[in-house]
Amino acid sequence: MNKQDQSFLKIQEWFPSLTKKQRLLIAGPCSAETQAQVLQVANELKHVGVQVMRAGIWKPRTRPGNFEGVGAIGLQWLQQAKKETGLQTAVEVANKTHVELALKADIDVLWVGARSTVSPFIVQEIADALRGTDKIVLVKNPVNPDLALWMGAIERFSQAGINRIGAIHRGFSSYEKSMYRNQPEWQVAIDLKAELPSLPLLVDPSHIGGSRELIFDLTQTAMDLNYDGMMIETHPEPDKAWSDAQQQITPKHLETIINEIKFREVDKDEKVFQTELKYLRDKIDILDQQIINSLGKRMKVAEEAGKLKGENNVSVLQTERWKKVLNNLVAQGETNNLSKAFVSKLFKAIHQESITRQSQIIQTGKNNLA
């Protein structure tokens, strides 16, 4: 799929009642728990400006023994909620059987979870089961930051004839400790939009943050990046939720967030603004070029160090020195208002490239001696 020859229907074409400036709002509980709970939250969300109510029916849990959803009976509750409120409904599907049951229950939106997106076999099975339907399909990013895998899943639905496709950015797993449940890695989502400019993109701040306190800031960041909508987990009594209680909010809290979010203009024609913005962008371009030139010079020095290490039979990685260097860089970064996470990630990538180059130089030297 190439961005030059692939176009997707805009969200306003999915929901004609939305204006060009409005964003799609999907909300509802992490898990459907009881019929009363589903109907209560649906009736509360109806007055918040929600277009689609979501609810987990089948819950893929990391380890067995945790609550894994109420199953197909929950679809009946969503049918009733739709009848009472007029809200469209959305569920996660992970196999052909889920799709068939969801279609039978006339669910409007089906989403593919992060654990499913990682498997082309699962994605293809779901795509085949949806072939010939007009359902909206939303594809969450895979667990790890793999852009090709995310795009591949979207391609499979497109090739199955689904024309109302969107992506959901729900963050990426990481072994490093963080304030987030899943690292945002905003650049991956930005790269997806660069490859597929017309693809609708939604944010799932509940799963990125893992904490209700982070939902507003994450949603605002996504809106600043011109996302097309959001999926936010809501529950009548979040602290009593059967799953992911800490990342759910009440419908009233959701209403507050939506009212406080600032939706930015995509383009602004005003002449003074454009002139000032161009000046700043030109400065950034110059600084970026200086960074690239400095990195090129640094790698040449690293290659010289690799040659010296090879001649003296010294290992490429000097663990203690690297720890000291990284700690010093992080400290310097903090004095320049750069976060520890950013500096660490940046220089770990630079260090890895240095190690790769030095290893190649040493191996080449060994080969020449052989």
Q: Is residue 2 part of a domain?
A: no
Cβ atoms 175, 144 nearer than 8 A: no
- The pLDDT tens digits for 152-161 are 999 999 999 9
Does residue 161 sit in the same domain as residue 296? Answer: no
Q: Is the dihedral of CA 71, 75, 77, 78 positive or negative?
A: positive
Task: Let me know whether 23 and 58 are in one domain.
Answer: yes
Does any domain span residue 307? Answer: yes
- Whether residues 162 and 237 share a domain: the answer is yes
Q: pLDDT > 90: what percent of the chain?
A: 76
Q: Which of 253, 257, 159 is nearest to 217 (CA)?
A: 257
Query: Could you tell me the pLDDT band of residue 189, with boundaries at 50, 70 and 90?
Result: very high
pLDDT bin (cut points 50, 70, 90) of residue 3 is very low
| Residue 120 tokens, joined | 């082309």
In a domain, 247, yes or no: yes
If one counts every other C-beta atom within 10 angstroms of the C-beta of residue 34, the result is 12
Check whether 1 has a pLDDT greater than 70.
no
Q: Are residues 43 and 124 in the same domain?
A: yes
Would 6 be classed as within a structural domain? Answer: no
* Token pair recorded at residue 182: 């899943």
Tell me if 234 is assigned to some domain: yes
Whether residue 221 is contained in a domain is answered as yes
pLDDT at 4 over 60: no
Domain assignment of residue 343, given as a range: 271-369
CATH code at position 157: 3.20.20.70
Number of domains in the chain: 2
Handedness of CA 247, 248, 253, 254 (dihedral sign): positive
Residue 266 has a pLDDT of 64
Whether 114 and 194 map to the same domain: the answer is: yes
pLDDT (average), residues 331-335: 94
Residue 277 has pLDDT above 90, yes or no: no
pTM of this structure: 0.82
Is the same domain home to 34 and 169? yes
Q: Are residues 213 and 126 in the same domain?
A: yes
Are 129 and 246 found together in one domain? yes
Give the tens place of pLDDT for each residue, 102-128: 999 999 999 999 999 999 999 999 999
**Three-class DSSP category at 48:** coil
- Looking at 260, 282, 307, the residue that finishes a domain is 260
Average pLDDT, the chain: 92
Instruction: Report the share of the chain in percent with pLDDT over 70.
Output: 96
Q: What is the rounded distance in angstroms from the CA atom of residue 53 to the CA atom of residue 232?
A: 10
Is 3 a domain residue?
Answer: no
